Amino acid sequence: MGKEILQLRNIHKSFPGVKALQGVDFTLREGEIHALMGENGAGKSTLIKVLTGVYTKDEGTITMDGKEAVIKSPQDAQNVGISTVYQEITLCPNLSVAENMYIGRSNNIMQNWKKMNEGADAILQSLDIPAKATQQLASCSIAVQQMVAIARAVDMDCKVLILDEPTSSLDEQEVEKLFKLMRDLKSRGVGIIFVTHFLEQVYEVCDMITVLRDGKLVGEYKIADLPRVQLVSKMLGKDFDDMAEIKSENKVFESNSKTPVIEVEGLYSDAGIKPFDFKVDKGEVTGFTGLLGSGRSECVRAIFGADRVLGGSVKKNGETVKIKKPIDAMKAGIGYIPEDRKVDGIVGDLSVRDNIILALQVMKGFFKPFTKAQANAFADEYIKLLGIKTASADTPIKQLSGGNQQKCIVARWLLTHPEYLILDEPTRGIDVGTKVDIQKLVLKLASEGMGITFISSETDEMLRTCSRLVVMRDRKVVGELKGDDLTQNKIMSTIAGGDGNENK
């Protein structure tokens, strides 16, 4: 094992109301590919940003090559030899490859173009990157653009290279090429920090894993010492070995009809999911589970027509319905509470009332607006029913707390009286009280005969509400669990998958 080049010790960083990092340690050695893992909000990106100078740390020390490094800006980070390649490519697509590699690095007014192009070609060749210096960057594939960004970083004499989700927009072959480049750099002694959501890739290319959870360090492990299942349990914060079984509180629902309310066959969309089959009975709560980015949201978005559906069929109560856009799904009696409340859910400047009636109003039609009295009656009814805390129905929804905003969105869809309701992460970022309210509501609606799909990052919550779970990994359905299989252990081992790596 090489010598340590980068040491982070006892890093603290807080934002108003949030302790994003609490005493995190991290060590990177020469010629090592080190995976930084954790679910959303674990503190991965905060740590990366502290390291690259986007944020300044509150406490702690960063040591490069045995000397304490002061990193207050991205410029500082580059000067000490830390380079970052982000998920979104931050190069200029309209410039040439060489220009992209050298832009902003020279203080001379004059530029020796010939020398620059020759230099760029030499680096590209040595790294085996299939691009020419004079080629326009936009004409390269995304993977090659990614590699050019890496080449730029390498040429800046970096000792530490941070790759933040570099593979999320690449296909398998492109990922292979990228890995080859990473191994090449590794053999030159560059230390690489690799952030990704794809478990398979971690096990393919990395040497070490550091796991963060809730802003705290969980531990640093050698890849051989940490089977997938354990990695997943460490990320989710459940100790696999002595995990308490949580008894399902689900009631048994009586369904009077054999036909499922929704039956999906071979459905897939342009969001990159593999075709999947799925069905929900009346009064059944089902769930999609899997790590972030596994494709669970994309599946339900395809059912609702939120992404462009490329193939497959949806049957409602046994009859095929054509769903091309959300309004089709709404007319078929499907409701969808989206994952990202701020971006896809609320209409920020509109009042609570308008937000609540929006979906029903759209279904009713352009020429049939509700009267003020009707709209007020609807809003008041659901404000009371769901206990939405708002100054009045006229208050712009963006002034409400997250939990109350979410309740408004729930109200919006309950108002349409759907037969099938999809809730994608309805409890993310809201207070515990509201969480329980929403879980109870889901069970109540199901007991009244509504078919429900519930998605949550918290396995506990899924176990409490769902009677059947579809497990996804890498944008594929990899299993279905019900009855006695509904346990934390079983879910995790299914999520982790991987042959011969079950548990030691």
Partner 1 sequence: MKTSKKSFTAIFRNQIFIPIAALLLLVIVNLIVDPSFFKITYQLNSDGQHILYGNLIQILDFGSELAILAIGMTFVTAASGGQDISVGAAIAIAGSVILRVLCGNNTRPEAGQLQTTFLVAFLVACVVAALFGAFNGLLVSVFKIQPMVATLILFTAGRSIAAWINNNELPIISDQSFKYFGGYIPNVPVPTPAILAVVVIIVTFLLLKFTNLGLYIQAVGINEKSSRLNGLNPTAIKFLSFVLLGLCVAVAGLIKVSRLSTINYSVIAKDIEMDAILAVALGGNALGGGKFNMTASILGAYVIQFLTITLYSMKVQSDALPAYKAVVVILLVVFSAPTVRNWMSKTWKNLTAKNTAKEVA
Quick one: which segment of 22-30, 218-226, 249-257, 364-372 binds partner 1 (CB under 8 A)?
364-372
Q: Does 332 bind partner 1 (CB under 8 A)?
A: no
Which residue, 119 or 326, has its beta carbon nearer to partner 1? 326
C-beta separation of 100 from 91 below 8 A = yes
Report residue 453: phi and psi, to 5°: -120, 130
Which residue, 196 or 355, has its beta carbon nearer to partner 1? 355
Residues with Cβ within 8 Å of 263's Cβ and at least 6 positions away in sequence, in order, are 278, 279, 280, 314, 315, 316, 318
Q: Does 348 bind partner 1 (CB under 8 A)?
A: yes
**Measured between alpha carbons, how far is residue 112 from residues 12, 122, 217, 337, 392 in Å?**
45, 16, 48, 56, 66
Q: What does the alpha-carbon distance between residue 219 and residue 176 come to, in Å, rounded to a whole number?
A: 28
Which residue, 129 or 337, has its beta carbon nearer to partner 1? 337
C-beta separation of 110 from 150 below 8 A = no
Quick one: which segment of 7-15, 115-123, 365-373, 495-503 binds partner 1 (CB under 8 A)?
365-373
Structure-token pair, residue 274: 């593999």
Query: Which candidate, 381, 377, 378, 401, places its Cα nearest to that of 389?
Result: 401
Q: Which of 366, 384, 483, 484 binds partner 1 (CB under 8 A)?
A: 366
One-letter identity of residue 397: I
Which residue, 42 or 334, has its beta carbon nearer to partner 1? 334
Quick one: which segment of 249-257, 348-356, 381-389, 473-481 binds partner 1 (CB under 8 A)?
348-356
Structure-token pair, residue 439: 């879980």
| Least distance in angstroms from the C-beta of 342 to partner 1 | 9
Binding string, 404-433, against partner 1, x = CB under 8 A?
Answer: --------x---------------------
| Least distance in angstroms from the C-beta of 331 to partner 1 | 8
SS3 call for 60: strand
Q: What does the alpha-carbon distance between residue 63 and residue 31 come to, in Å, rounded to a whole number?
A: 17
| Least distance in angstroms from the C-beta of 360 to partner 1 | 9
Contacts of partner 1 in 113-132 (CB under 8 A): none
Q: What does the alpha-carbon distance between residue 97 and residue 406 come to, in Å, rounded to a whole number?
A: 46
Q: Does 346 bind partner 1 (CB under 8 A)?
A: yes
Residues with Cβ within 8 Å of 381's Cβ and at least 6 positions away in sequence, in order, are none
DSSP state of 345: I
Query: Which candidate, 458, 414, 416, places its Cα nearest to that of 435?
Result: 458
Q: Which of 338, 418, 451, 497 binds partner 1 (CB under 8 A)?
A: 338
Q: Which of 363, 377, 385, 436 binds partner 1 (CB under 8 A)?
A: 363
Q: Does 336 bind partner 1 (CB under 8 A)?
A: yes
| Least distance in angstroms from the C-beta of 326 to partner 1 | 5
C-beta separation of 85 from 149 below 8 A = yes
Q: What does the alpha-carbon distance between residue 372 and residue 380 come to, in Å, rounded to a whole number?
A: 12
SS3 call for 191: strand
Q: Does 269 bind partner 1 (CB under 8 A)?
A: no
Query: Which candidate, 267, 258, 275, places its Cα nearest to that of 314?
Result: 267
Quick one: which segment of 128-136, 166-174, 257-265, 338-346 binds partner 1 (CB under 8 A)?
338-346
Q: Does 343 bind partner 1 (CB under 8 A)?
A: yes
Report residue 115: phi and psi, to 5°: -60, -40
| Least distance in angstroms from the C-beta of 47 to partner 1 | 30
Q: How far is CA 38 from the centre of its chain?
A: 11
| Least distance in angstroms from the C-beta of 330 to partner 1 | 5
| Least distance in angstroms from the C-beta of 49 to partner 1 | 26
Q: Which of 362, 377, 385, 436 binds partner 1 (CB under 8 A)?
A: 362
Contacts of partner 1 in 289-328 (CB under 8 A): 304, 306, 325-327
Which residue, 326 or 498, has its beta carbon nearer to partner 1? 326
Which residue, 241 or 349, has its beta carbon nearer to partner 1? 349
Query: Which candidate, 307, 335, 340, places its Cα nearest to that of 475?
Result: 307
Chain residues in the site for partner 1 (CB under 8 A): 304, 306, 325-327, 330, 336, 338, 343-350, 354, 358-359, 361-363, 365-369, 412
